Structure 1
Amino acid sequence: MFLKVLVTDHVRVDPNKFGMTTDEAVRTQLEESYSGFQDKDIGTVVSVLDVKEVKEGIIIPGDGAAYYESTFELIVFRPELHEAVYGTIEEVTNFGAFMNMGVIRGMIHISQTMDDFVSFSDTGTLTGKDGKKTLAQGDNCIARIVAISYRGEEPKIGLTMRQPGLGKLDWVQADKEKLKRQNAELVAKEAKATKGAKGAKK
């Protein structure tokens, strides 16, 4: 999920920014240093929202930069287990698909792409056995996070689309319309049964 977090850190401002005001220099340095920064506890930094406080700077002998203890707000994306996420299929392989969630991407194993036996075609698509569902690059989908691992620089996100309300947006819409029809049929059936019961009493 996207969150706003408050962070306090010592910001190293390079000498080439000394011509700016202190606040401008600190903000510019934060945007350079924190853009795309990933941390298990904080998440993936999307942007620097605001600089709340900048204390007096210090210079360390032998280092031409200035250090400012600063408090600032960040917008971050922090994946949570069982969270439903929206994204676009970026790549399809014979073992599954990769979904771009805007900030990071997750992997959907072929067995988790749809509630069906799935095969990979030469055209680069995943197709269900019944032939009604296909998944290809560029498809917009809703998935659920089922695994999070932080080994390496980028977090590894495992996704599933086999649960109700998940999958390619076309599938989700089709399921909604099917449920709507079923509910309408059930209401009509109950109304008919009630009308018949009243007629029998007369």
Structure 2
Amino acid sequence: MFLVVEMVDTVRIPPWQFQRQLNDAISEELNKKLANKVVYNVGLCVCLYDITKLEDSYIFPGDGASHTKVHFRYVVFRPFLDEILIGKIKYCSQEGVHVSLGFFDDIVIPPESLQQPAKFDETEQVWLWEYETDEGAHDLYMDQSEEIRFRVVDEAFVDTSPSGPVSATPDAPGTAVADDNSQKKEAPYTLIGSISEPGLGLLSWWSSS
């Protein structure tokens, strides 16, 4: 679930930080920049693991700060495909069951990956598994906050870095704002899960006989 990834970056240290140990100042700046951020095709950055190499520091004309090229290792959240995780149901929608791990919320189990036959209850806004028994079908609801065991079957990265201003015509001044808001809502990293096999799904399903 967690990886240690080698990375390289140039870190800027402002003059008022010069009295500190360079390693300490650089560590703080790297965590400010990366912690809880998604790096495209890498994963969700958690915390600095260690610094492996510092190159020479430079001060450029017009900027009193030092600039140091740093080689370091960072702890990253990026589960392996087919890895089994346990989270809690955040909410359900027509798109599927949305799951949270507490520190990471962008997980969805699409309808075709639920235990089948599955049905969406419009009134309750929850998915349910129509579980067949000798006595007939029983509706097993996937309620909010229930613990759920799922398999990671896919992942999706979206480059959410700024793409420049969107031009808006004079007769439609709200166009640029609407486009910008829709971009902000797009998750940079999403996990796709599945519970369509025995032993997966709500923990309560398998804990009772």
Q: Please, what TM-score do these two structures have when normalized by structure 1?
A: 0.75
The answer as to whether partners of 2:91 and 2:126 remain within 8 angstroms in 1 is no
Note if 1:90 corresponds to 2:97: no
Query: Cα RMSD between the aligned structures?
Result: 2.2
Aligned to 1:44: 44
The structure with higher relative contact order (CA 8 Å, sep 6+) is 2
CA shift for structure 1 position 167:
0.8
CA shift for structure 1 position 145:
1.8
Note if 1:109 corresponds to 2:110: yes
Unaligned segments of structure 1, at least 5 residues: 178-202
Letter in 2 for 1:136: D
Percentage identity across aligned positions? 23
Letter in 1 for 2:121: F
Aligned to 2:72: 72
SS in 2 for 1:131: strand
Letter in 1 for 2:92: V
| Larger helix share, 1 or 2 | 1
Post-superposition Cα deviations, 1:4-59, rounded to whole Å, max 9, x if no partner, equal: 22323222223443342211110110110111232244321111122333333112
State the number of aligned residues.
175
SS in 2 for 1:33: helix
Quote the Cα distance in structure 2 between the aligned partners of 1:18 and 1:146: 47
Q: Is the alpha carbon distance of 1:53 and 1:104 closer, same or farther for their aligned partners in structure 2, counting shifts above 3 Å?
A: farther
Greater radius of gyration (CA): 1
| Larger strand share, 1 or 2 | 2
SS in 1 for 2:56: coil
Quote the Cα distance in structure 2 between the aligned partners of 1:8 and 1:110: 40
Note if 1:139 corresponds to 2:140: no
Letter in 2 for 1:113: L
Letter in 2 for 1:147: D
SS in 2 for 1:133: strand
CA shift for structure 1 position 62:
3.0
1:169-180 equivalence runs, <5 A: 169-174=203-208, 177=209
Note if 1:159 corresponds to 2:193: yes
The answer as to whether partners of 1:77 and 1:103 remain within 8 angstroms in 2 is no
Quote the Cα distance in structure 2 between the aligned partners of 1:65 and 1:162: 55
Post-superposition Cα deviations, 1:79-106, rounded to whole Å, max 9, x if no partner, equal: 3322222211112223322111333521
Letter in 1 for 2:30: L
The answer as to whether partners of 2:55 and 2:70 remain within 8 angstroms in 1 is yes
Quote the Cα distance in structure 1 between the aligned partners of 2:152 and 2:40: 16
Q: Is the alpha carbon distance of 1:7 and 1:117 closer, same or farther for their aligned partners in structure 2, counting shifts above 3 Å?
A: closer
Quote the Cα distance in structure 2 between the aligned partners of 1:90 and 1:39: 24
The answer as to whether partners of 1:93 and 1:120 remain within 8 angstroms in 2 is no
SS in 1 for 2:91: strand
Aligned to 1:59: 59
SS in 2 for 1:81: coil
